[in-house]
C-alpha cells in the first residue's frame, strides 16, 4: 500500500504584480500597472514517503511558490493539495508540527545571539522534550561538524555555517517531511556536501521525505527524482538518470589541439566552448563511429581528446531552449 | 548640464515610486490632517472653557489656522522619507550597490526623497494652504510670502540632513523604525506642531526657538499668520540657515565615516 | 480557538519576546539609544496637557490630574499596542519574505503576527504611563473598587484595537503593498484617545465609539473610574468591541489568502 507524503492535483496560483508602465503618455506612465502573473498552472504530482525529490527550474518558474503552498504559507487558487494527509492551508498548524522548512533566503536564526540560543528557541516553539532535544542536537552537530561554531554569534558565521545551523533548527522537532528552498545559495562546497550527507542520513534513519528546490545543478545529486518546472508547469518528472540521458544522442568531445592545427573539427559537430588550446564540440552519437571523424581524432595535431556525456547543466540549457522555442 | 539631467532622472523615478503607492500615501496624508483636527477640537474646547478671547496672545481663529497650516507644512518639512528609504536600502543590501554608482549616495537619496515630497507639496500642501488662507482671511504680503518660502526650503534642508544621520544609524542598529517614529513626534513637538512655541513657558520657548526644529513648523506658520513680525522672522531664518550649514556638513562628515563600514556589514 | 490553543499561543508569545529581548540587548550601545528614545516617547503625551493647563483652565469638567489619568490610560493602551504591532516592520517582513519563516510554525496566523517584534521601546512608554497612572490616581484619591471594571475595559479595548489594526495592516499590504497610512492612523488614534471624546462633538464621539473604537481603550474606562458610565453606553461599547474584534479576526484570516511574499 503506497503512502503518499505529498499529493498535488491541478494546482494553480497567480499573483497580481505592481509594475510601472513603460509606454504611453507621461501621465499614463505615472500610474502603476497591475498585471497578473500565473506562477503555477495545473501542477500535479505525487511524492511517496521517504523520497528525495529535486524541484528544478529557472528563477520565476514557480518552485518557491509551490513549496510555500505545500507549507500552507500561500493559498492556492485552485486544485487540491495534501501533505501527510493534511490540507496545508486549512490544517497548517497540525502540519507545521510535522514539517521542517529551510528557506535559503531567510534565516530562522536570531542574528545577534548564538545558534545554540536559536536551537533552544526552537525547542520551545515545538515543545521538544529535553532528552530528545539534546540527543538530536548532539547527533546533528556532529554530522554537520558544527562543533564549537554553534556557540558563536550567528552574524559572525559564514554562509555555509549559517545554512547548516538553519538546517539543524528545522529538523530538531523530528519532522516527517522537509522542504529545502534554495538552501545552498552562496554556500561553499564542503558545506553543500555536508548538507547532502545529512539529508541522506536523515532519510536513511528516519524515512524523512525531502523536497529540494534549486536552480543549481550540483545540488541535485542528492535526489533520485527530478521535477522540472518551467513557467509554472511541470515539463519533466522522472528519475535523475532519465534527465541526464535526455539528450543522450549527443556526446561532448574535447580536443586539445597543437598550435596552428588545421583540423576542421567544425564539420563534425557544433562548437560549444573554446579556451586556449582546448575546444569542445557537440557531436551526434553516431559520429563516433564515423571513419573520417576517427581519423581526425588520430591526426598528429590532436594532442589529446576526451569523450563525455553532456552533463546536466547542458541538458537543462537545451531543455529550456526547446521550451522557449515552443512559446 | 549633465548633472541636471541625472538629478531630474532621479527625481522622476522618485515621483513614479510615490504615485505607485498613491493610495497608501493619500491615506497617510488624510490621517496627518486629521491629527491637526484633533488639536483644533481640543483648543476649541479650551477656549470655551476659559472664556477668554485670546490665549498667549493668540485668538481662536489664528490658533485654528495655525494648526492647519502647521500640519500641512510639516508634511513637507518633517518628512522621514530620507531615513526610511535608507533603512530600506541598508536592510535589503541595496546600499552596497548604490554606494558604488556614479551618483553619490547622499545626493541620490536626497533627490529621490525630494521627488517623493514634491508630490505631497503639489497635491496637498499648496491647495490646502490656499484654502486656509482664503477661509481664515489671512492677509499675505510679498514679504511674508517670500520669507515663508525661504523658511520652508531651509527647514527642508535641515530635516533632510538630520534624517540622513538618523537613517545611517540603520547600519549599526538594523531596525530603526522606532527611532524614526520618535524622531518624527519629537521634531513635531519641538517644532511647534503640537503646541505653538509661543505658548510654552518663557524659558522653554526661548530654548525651543534656538533649535533647528522651530523653522520646520512654527516659524513659517507664524510668519504667514503674522504672529511674528517679518524682522523677527528674518532673525529665525538666519539662525535656521546656520543650522542648515552645520547639519549638512555634519551629515557629510558622518557619512564619510559610515560608508566605510557599509561593506563590512552583512553576509 | 480552544482554551488549549489560546494557552499555547500565549506561551509562544512570551517565548518569542524572551528571545527578541535577548537578541536585542546584546549590543549595549543600541540598548542605550533605545532607552533614551523610549524615555522621550514616554514624556511626549504629557507635555501638551501640561502646557494647556499652564496657559488656560483646560478642558471643562476635567481637572489637570483627571486629564493626566486619561492621557496615561491612552499611553498605556497604545504603548502596549505599539509594542505588539509595528505596521512598518510587519509590512517589511511580509514584503521581504521574512514572514514566511514564521508562518511555518505550529501556531495560528494571528498569533504569529502578534508575536513578531513590534516597537520594543514602547514597553517603556507603557510602563511609564502606568507609573503616572498610579500617581494621578493617588492624587485624585481614587479607591481600588472601580479599577476592576477599568482594567477589564482596558483589556477589551486593547484587544479590539490590536485585532483591528492587525487586519488593517494586512489589508493595506494586499491592496497597496504599503504601510504608511496604517502607521499614521495608529499615531492619529493614539493622539485622539488622549482627550475626552466629548471634545470632538456628538459626531466625533459616535465615530470614536462605534467605528474607530478608541473610546473603549481610554475614555470609557477612565470615565468609569472618575465619574460613571451609563449601563446602556457600557453595553453598546462592549457589543461594538466584540463585533469589531470578531470581524477583524475573521477578516485577517480571509485576507491572508491573498498574502504573497517577495519573490516567486
More confident residue, C245 or A309: C245
When CB atoms are compared, the residue of A106, A126, A153 closest to C101 is: A106
Query: In the prediction, which pLDDT does C169 show?
Result: 96
Contact B98, B195 (CB under 8 A): no
Q: Which residues of B touch A32 (CB under 8 A)?
A: 19-20
Q: Which residues of C touch A72 (CB under 8 A)?
A: 103-104
Q: Which residues of B touch C71 (CB under 8 A)?
A: none
Whether the pLDDT of residue A20 is over 60: the answer is no
Q: Which three cell numbers stand for residue A139?
A: 547527533
Query: In the prediction, which pLDDT does C101 show?
Result: 93
Query: In the prediction, which pLDDT does A123 show?
Result: 96
Residues 6+ apart with CB under 8 A from C155: none
Contact A271, A281 (CB under 8 A): yes
Per-residue pLDDT band for A274 (boundaries 50, 70, 90) equals: confident
Distance from CA of B17 to the nearest CA of A (A): 9
Phi-psi category of A31—alpha, beta or left, where left has phi over 0 and alpha has psi -120 to 50?
beta
Give me the mean pLDDT over the C50-66 stretch. Answer: 90
Q: Averaging pLDDT over each range in B46-55, B112-121, B135-144, which range is the top one?
A: B46-55
Reported as half-sphere exposure (CB side, CA atoms, 13 A), residue C87 has a value of 26
Average predicted confidence (pLDDT) for chain C: 90
Residue A247: how many CB atoms within 10 A of its CB?
18
Residues 6+ apart with CB under 8 A from C161: C77, C81, C189, C213, C214, C216, C217
User: By CB neighbour count within 10 A (0-12 exposed, 13-18 middle, 19+ buried), where does A285 fall?
Assistant: exposed
Contact A112, A156 (CB under 8 A): no
Reported as half-sphere exposure (CB side, CA atoms, 13 A), residue B76 has a value of 28
**CB contacts < 8 Å between A and C, how many?**
82
Beta strands in A58-98 (DSSP E): 78-83
Distance from CA of B50 to the nearest CA of C (A): 6
Q: Residue C102: which domain range? A: 3-258
pLDDT above 70 coverage of chain C, percent: 97
pLDDT above 90 coverage of chain A, percent: 47
Whether the pLDDT of residue C129 is over 80: the answer is yes
Handedness of CA B134, B135, B137, B138 (dihedral sign): negative
What domains sit in chain A, N to C, each tagged with a CATH number? 4-244 (3.40.50.300), 250-308 (3.30.70)
In-domain check, residue C124: yes
- Strand, helix or coil at C61? coil
Q: Which three cell numbers stand for residue A65?
A: 511558490
Which chains reach chain A with 3 or more Cβ–Cβ distances below 8 angstroms? B, C
Give me the mean pLDDT over the C215-242 stretch. Answer: 92
In-domain check, residue C92: yes
| Rounded Cα distance, B183 and C187, in Å | 13
Name the residue among B210, B215, B217 with its Cα closest to residue B194. Answer: B217
Whether the pLDDT of residue C92 is over 80: the answer is yes
Query: In the prediction, which pLDDT does A73 show?
Result: 94
In-domain check, residue C264: no
Whether the pLDDT of residue A22 is over 90: the answer is no
Average predicted confidence (pLDDT) for chain B: 81
Q: Torsion angle of alpha carbons C19, C24, C25, C30, nearest 10°?
A: 180
User: How many distinct structural domains can be found in chain C?
Assistant: 1
> Does C96 reach chain B within 8 Å, measured CB to CB?
yes
Q: Do A153 and C263 count as a contact with CB atoms less than 8 A apart? A: no
Whether the pLDDT of residue B167 is over 60: the answer is yes
In-domain check, residue C167: yes
Per-residue pLDDT band for B2 (boundaries 50, 70, 90) equals: low
Report which secondary-structure segment, H or E, holds B162.
helix B142-168
When CB atoms are compared, the residue of A20, A159, A186 closest to B20 is: A20
ipTM for the predicted complex comes to: 0.89
Q: Which three cell numbers stand for residue A217?
A: 545543478
> Does B97 reach chain C within 8 Å, measured CB to CB?
no
Q: Do A106 and C15 count as a contact with CB atoms less than 8 A apart? A: no
Contact C55, B205 (CB under 8 A): no
Residue C24: how many CB atoms within 10 A of its CB?
19
| Rounded Cα distance, A318 and A201, in Å | 33
More confident residue, A23 or A195: A195
Nearest CA in chain A to B265: A155
> Does B12 reach chain C within 8 Å, measured CB to CB?
no
In-domain check, residue C22: yes
| Rounded Cα distance, A125 and A97, in Å | 10
Per-residue pLDDT band for B136 (boundaries 50, 70, 90) equals: confident
Query: In the prediction, which pLDDT does A154 show?
Result: 92
Average predicted confidence (pLDDT) for chain A: 87
- Selected for mutation to probe chain B from C98, C174, C177, C183 (highest B CB count within 10 Å) is C183
Per-residue pLDDT band for A114 (boundaries 50, 70, 90) equals: very high
Q: Which residues of A touch C173 (CB under 8 A)?
A: none
Contact A79, A42 (CB under 8 A): yes
Please report where in the chains the cell 503639489 appears, as a residue: B122
In-domain check, residue C263: no
When CB atoms are compared, the residue of C30, C89, C200 closest to B41 is: C200
Nearest-10 crossing angle of helices B2-20, B22-50: 70
> Does C175 reach chain B within 8 Å, measured CB to CB?
yes
| Rounded Cα distance, B121 and B75, in Å | 8
Q: Torsion angle of alpha carbons C38, C44, C50, C51, nearest 10°?
A: 140
Condensed to tens digits (0 to 9), the pLDDT of residues B62-87 reads 888 888 888 888 888 887 888 888 88
| Rounded Cα distance, A60 and A46, in Å | 22
Amino acid at each position: 500500500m503506497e503512502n503518499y507524503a505529498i499529493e498535488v492535483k491541478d494546482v494553480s496560483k497567480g499573483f497580481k504584480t505592481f509594475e510601472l508602465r513603460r509606454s504611453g503618455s507621461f501621465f499614463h506612465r505615472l500610474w502603476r500597472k497591475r498585471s497578473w502573473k500565473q506562477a503555477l498552472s495545473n501542477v500535479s504530482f505525487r511524492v511517496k514517503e521517504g523520497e528525495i525529490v529535486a524541484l528544478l527550474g529557472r528563477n520565476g518558474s514557480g518552485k518557491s511558490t509551490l513549496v510555500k503552498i505545500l507549507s500552507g504559507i500561500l493559498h492556492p487558487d485552485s486544485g487540491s493539495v495534501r501533505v501527510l494527509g493534511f490540507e496545508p492551508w486549512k490544517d497548517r498548524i497540525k502540519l507545521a508540527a510535522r514539517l521542517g522548512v529551510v528557506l535559503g533566503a531567510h534565516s530562522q536564526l536570531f542574528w545577534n545571539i548564538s545558534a545554540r540560543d536559536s536551537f533552544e528557541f526552537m525547542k520551545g516553539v515545538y515543545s521538544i522534550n529535553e532528552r530528545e532535544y539534546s540527543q538530536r542536537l548532539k547527533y546533528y552537530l556532529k554530522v554537520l561538524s558544527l562543533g564549537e561554531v554553534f556557540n558563536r554569534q550567528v552574524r559572525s558565521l559564514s554562509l555555509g555555517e549559517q545554512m547548516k545551523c538553519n538546517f539543524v533548527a528545522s529538523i530538531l522537532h523530528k519532522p516527517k517531511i522537509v522542504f529545502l528552498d534554495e538552501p545552498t545559495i552562496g554556500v561553499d562546497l564542503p558545506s553543500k556536501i555536508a548538507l547532502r550527507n545529512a539529508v541522506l542520513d536523515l532519510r536513511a534513519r528516519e524515512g524523512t521525505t525531502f523536497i529540494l528546490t534549486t536552480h543549481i545543478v550540483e545540488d541535485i545529486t542528492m535526489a533520485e527524482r527530478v521535477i522540472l518546472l518551467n513557467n509554472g508547469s511541470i515539463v519533466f518528472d522522472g528519475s535523475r538518470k532519465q534527465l541526464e540521458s535526455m539528450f543522450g544522442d549527443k556526446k561532448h568531445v574535447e580536443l586539445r589541439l597543437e598550435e596552428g592545427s588545421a583540423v576542421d573539427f567544425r564539420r563534425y559537430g557544433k562548437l560549444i566552448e573554446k579556451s586556449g588550446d582546448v575546444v569542445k564540440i557537440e557531436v551526434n552519437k553516431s559520429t563516433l563511429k564515423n571513419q573520417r571523424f576517427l581519423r581526425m581524432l588520430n591526426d598528429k595535431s590532436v594532442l589529446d581528446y576526451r569523450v563525455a556525456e553532456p552533463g546536466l547543466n547542458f541538458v537543462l540549457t537545451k531543455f529550456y531552449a526547446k521550451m522557449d522555442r515552443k512559446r | 548640464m549633465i548633472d541636471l539631467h541625472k538629478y531630474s532622472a532621479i527625481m522622476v523615478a522618485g515621483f513614479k515610486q510615490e504615485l505607485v503607492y498613491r493610495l497608501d500615501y493619500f491615506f497617510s496624508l488624510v490621517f496627518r490632517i486629521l491629527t491637526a483636527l484633533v488639536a483644533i477640537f481640543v483648543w476649541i474646547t479650551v477656549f470655551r472653557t476659559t472664556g477668554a478671547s485670546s490665549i498667549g496672545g493668540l485668538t481662536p481663529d489664528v490658533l485654528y489656522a495655525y494648526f492647519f497650516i502647521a500640519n500641512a507644512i510639516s508634511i513637507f518639512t518633517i518628512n522621514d522619507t530620507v531615513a526610511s528609504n535608507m533603512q530600506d536600502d541598508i536592510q535589503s543590501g541595496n546600499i552596497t550597490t548604490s554606494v558604488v554608482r556614479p551618483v553619490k549616495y547622499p545626493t541620490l537619496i536626497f533627490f529621490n526623497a525630494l521627488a517623493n515630497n514634491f508630490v505631497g507639496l503639489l497635491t496637498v500642501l499648496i491647495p490646502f494652504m490656499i484654502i486656509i488662507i482664503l477661509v481664515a482671511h489671512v492677509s499675505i504680503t510679498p514679504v511674508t510670502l517670500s520669507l515663508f518660502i525661504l523658511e520652508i526650503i531651509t527647514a527642508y534642508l535641515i530635516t533632510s540632513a538630520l534624517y540622513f544621520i538618523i537613517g545611517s544609524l540603520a547600519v549599526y542598529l538594523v531596525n530603526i523604525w522606532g527611532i524614526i517614529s520618535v524622531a518624527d513626534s519629537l521634531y513635531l513637538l519641538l517644532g511647534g506642531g503640537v503646541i505653538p512655541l509661543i505658548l510654552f513657558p518663557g524659558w522653554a520657548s526661548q530654548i525651543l526657538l534656538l533649535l533647528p526644529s522651530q523653522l520646520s513648523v512654527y516659524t513659517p506658520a507664524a510668519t504667514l499668520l503674522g504672529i511674528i513680525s517679518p524682522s523677527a522672522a528674518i532673525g529665525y531664518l538666519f539662525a535656521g540657515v546656520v543650522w542648515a550649514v552645520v547639519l549638512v556638513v555634519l551629515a557629510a562628515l558622518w557619512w564619510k565615516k559610515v560608508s566605510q563600514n557599509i561593506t563590512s556589514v552583512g553576509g | 480557538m480552544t482554551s488549549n490553543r489560546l494557552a499555547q499561543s500565549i506561551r509562544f508569545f512570551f517565548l518569542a519576546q524572551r528571545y527578541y529581548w535577548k537578541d536585542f540587548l546584546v549590543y549595549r550601545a543600541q540598548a542605550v539609544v533605545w532607552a533614551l528614545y523610549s524615555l522621550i516617547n514616554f514624556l511626549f503625551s504629557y507635555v501638551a496637557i501640561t502646557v494647556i493647563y499652564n496657559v488656560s483652565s483646560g478642558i471643562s469638567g476635567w481637572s489637570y490630574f483627571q486629564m493626566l489619568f486619561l492621557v496615561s490610560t491612552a499611553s498605556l493602551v497604545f504603548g502596549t499596542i505599539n509594542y505588539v504591532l509595528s505596521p512598518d516592520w510587519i509590512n517589511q517582513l511580509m514584503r521581504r519574505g521574512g514572514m514566511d519563516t514564521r508562518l511555518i510554525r505550529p501556531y495560528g496566523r494571528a498569533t504569529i503576527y502578534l508575536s513578531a517584534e513590534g516597537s520594543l521601546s514602547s514597553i517603556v512608554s507603557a510602563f511609564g504611563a502606568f507609573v503616572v497612572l498610579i500617581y494621578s490616581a493617588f492624587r485624585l484619591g481614587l479607591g481600588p473598587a472601580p479599577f476592576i471594571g477599568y482594567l477589564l475595559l482596558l483589556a477589551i479595548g486593547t484587544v479590539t484595537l490590536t485585532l483591528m489594526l492587525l487586519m488593517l495592516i494586512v489589508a493595506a499590504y494586499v491592496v497597496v503593498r504599503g504601510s504608511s497610512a496604517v502607521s499614521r492612523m495608529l499615531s492619529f488614534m493614539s493622539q485622539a484617545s488622549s482627550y475626552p471624546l466629548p471634545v470632538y462633538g456628538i459626531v466625533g464621539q459616535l465615530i470614536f465609539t462605534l467605528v474607530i473604537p478608541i473610546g473603549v481603550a481610554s475614555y470609557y474606562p477612565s470615565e468609569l473610574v472618575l465619574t460613571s458610565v451609563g449601563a446602556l453606553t457600557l453595553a453598546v461599547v462592549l457589543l461594538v468591541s466584540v463585533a469589531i474584534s470578531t470581524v477583524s479576526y475573521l477578516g485577517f484570516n480571509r485576507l491572508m489568502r491573498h498574502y504573497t511574499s517577495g519573490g516567486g
